A and B are shown apart, each in its own frame.
Chain A
Amino acid sequence: QQKVQQSPESLSVPEGGMASLNCTSSDRNFQYFWWYRQHSGEGPKALMSIFSDGDKKEGRFTAHLNKASLHVSLHIRDSQPSDSALYFCAASANSGTYQRFGTGTKLQVVP
């Protein structure tokens, strides 16, 4: 039973465009969120975390968290071909010992 769902499964955006990824936790205990990016042949690399309601911006990446609905989104502006990768949302509990990963979104940025 997957407790962290992501959508869409795959996404194609033009270079310079905006990519929007979504993630929802079905377990109210898991409400601390991370976004990871994984390029082919590599391990995941953390992009950013978000623990409080609202927006958090880091460079071209903006995350938005709604704790009431346990929904988090990631928006990538001015997408670059190098952004093409798998993106994972991960959630942890307040005193969590591990992060629970979502189903992933495959992003392709087309030049």
Chain B
Amino acid sequence: NSKVIQTPRYLVKGQGQKAKMRCIPEKGHPVVFWYQQNKNNEFKFLINFQNQEVLQQIDMTEKRFSAECPSNSPCSLEIQSSEAGDSALYLCASSLTGANTEVFFGKGTRLTVV
């Protein structure tokens, strides 16, 4: 069973509010991924880290989205000003060496923007 822990499981925010979710990767996994899964079950890669450094991120995350993986603290993904279109399941995942090794996912944080 995956040991990637995501909190909270559910998050409800009003439009324009800040939304923050956290992730503790599997112990010993230096690579962390964030994905967004929308209501149609489509996945969108957002950002990934190796240790504390950003490996790659899509344009969207450079604007309202911010993420970090500080040393000795949970990783986090924050949406500065939530929009209705941000309502989705946000999945955190971790792996040992990157995309070509097994990636372990958490159960996700379901964000609803009302």
Q: List the interface of chain A (C-beta within 8 A of B).
A: 2, 32, 34, 41-46, 49, 51, 86, 88, 92-94, 96-101, 103-104
Chain B interface category by residue count:
20 to 34
**Is B55 interfacial (CB 8 A cutoff)?**
yes
Q: Return chain B residues, CB-CB under 8 Å to A41.
A: 107
Query: Which of the residues B2, B99, B104 comes within 8 Å of A92, measured between beta carbons?
Result: B99
Q: How far is the CB of A91 from chain B (nearest CB, A)?
A: 9
Query: Which of the residues A34, A43, A97 comes within 8 Å of B48, measured between beta carbons?
Result: A97
A98 touches B33 (CB 8 A): yes
B100 touches A32 (CB 8 A): yes
Q: Return chain A residues, CB-CB under 8 Å to B107.
A: 41-43
Interface hits, B67-110 → A, CB 8 Å: 91, 93, 98-100, 102-108
B99 touches A96 (CB 8 A): yes
Query: Which of the residues B56, B91, B99, B100 comes within 8 Å of A43, measured between beta carbons?
Result: B91
**Is B42 interfacial (CB 8 A cutoff)?**
yes
Q: How far is the CB of A67 from chain B (nearest CB, A)?
A: 15
15 other contacts beyond A99-B103, A103-B42, with CB at 8 A cut-off?
Answer: A32-B99, A34-B103, A43-B106, A43-B107, A44-B105, A46-B104, A51-B100, A86-B41, A88-B43, A93-B99, A97-B99, A98-B48, A98-B55, A98-B56, A99-B45
Find the A residue at minimum CB distance from B1.
A45
Measured CA separation A45–B105 after assembly (Å): 7
Q: Return chain A residues, CB-CB under 8 Å to B43.
A: 88, 101
Q: How far is the CB of A44 from chain B (nearest CB, A)?
A: 5
Q: How far is the CB of B43 from chain A (nearest CB, A)?
A: 4
Question: 3 shortest A-B CB distances, which residue pairs?
Answer: A43-B105, A101-B43, A92-B99
Find the B residue at minimum CB distance from A48.
B102
B98 touches A46 (CB 8 A): no
Q: Return chain B residues, CB-CB under 8 Å to A96.
A: 98-100
List 19 A-B residue pairs with CB atoms under 8 Å apart, sorted by A's residue number: A32-B100, A42-B107, A43-B4, A43-B93, A44-B105, A45-B105, A46-B102, A88-B43, A97-B48, A97-B98, A97-B99, A98-B33, A98-B48, A98-B99, A99-B45, A99-B99, A100-B45, A101-B43, A104-B41
